């Protein structure tokens, strides 16, 4: 009976050892699985974080690049607008200056009749004589002829008669007894014009 008791004790020890070993293996397996799961989760979390960080960096870089391109385009547009405005202003100033110069030349030409190439510019004249010369230079051909005749005294009587006719003193009369101014003036002007 003592042998049987020993055998039973030995069997019980073996069973306990087996159970302990199995429990240890199970615990080790669970621990290893838990570690693998934790490692997998950590790795996944790191990958997700890295992906998010990379995506954020790309988005930020793209946004900065787009903003820089917009700023550059805006600067170019602004520079082009300023250049165009400056060109328009310069063109307007040139046009205005040219117009003023042309107007000034026309005014000067209108005030000062053209001096003939054969004119003797060294002659001294009075202010009245200067006015007469300027009026003569600005006159037409017929006007110059009449002015010379009047100044020479060739039509002194004619001018007097014309003034008298206009004043209602001289001239013949028509059938009603009035002064025929039309005929009188016509005759006098015909004499002045050499007709």
User: Is this prediction's pTM over 0.85?
Assistant: no
In a domain, 32, yes or no: no
In a domain, 152, yes or no: yes
In a domain, 161, yes or no: yes
* Tally of structural domains, the chain: 1
In a domain, 131, yes or no: yes
Residue 175: predicted pLDDT: 47
Residue 16: predicted pLDDT: 82
Euclidean distance between CA atoms 136 and 130, whole angstroms: 10
Residue 173: predicted pLDDT: 47
Residue 150: predicted pLDDT: 78
Q: 34-72: per-residue pLDDT in tens?
A: 888 888 888 888 888 888 888 888 888 888 888 888 888
Q: Is the pLDDT assigned to residue 182 strictly greater than 70? A: no
In a domain, 159, yes or no: yes
Owning domain of residue 159: 126-193
Range 61-64, long-range pairs (CB < 8 A, 24+ positions): none
């Amino acid at each position: 009976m003592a042998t049987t008791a020993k055998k039973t004790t030995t069997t019980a020890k073996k069973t306990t050892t087996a159970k302990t070993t199995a429990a240890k293996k199970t615990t080790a397996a669970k621990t290893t699985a838990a570690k693998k799961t934790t490692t997998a989760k950590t790795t996944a979390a790191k990958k997700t974080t890295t992906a998010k960080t990379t995506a954020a960096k790309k988005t930020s870089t793209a946004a900065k690049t787009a903003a820089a391109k917009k700023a550059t385009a805006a600067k170019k547009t602004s520079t082009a607008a300023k250049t165009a405005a400056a060109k328009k202003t310069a063109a307007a100033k040139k046009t205005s200056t040219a117009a003023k110069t042309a107007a000034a030349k026309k005014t000067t030409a209108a005030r000062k009749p053209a001096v003939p190439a054969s004119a003797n510019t060294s002659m001294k004249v009075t202010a009245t004589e200067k006015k007469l010369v300027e009026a003569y230079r600005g006159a037409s051909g017929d006007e110059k002829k009449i002015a010379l005749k009047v100044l020479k005294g060739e039509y002194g009587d004619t001018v007097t008669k014309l003034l008298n006719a206009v004043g209602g003193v001289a001239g013949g009369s028509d059938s009603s007894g009035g002064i025929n101014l039309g005929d009188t003036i016509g005759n006098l002007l015909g004499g002045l014009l050499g007709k």
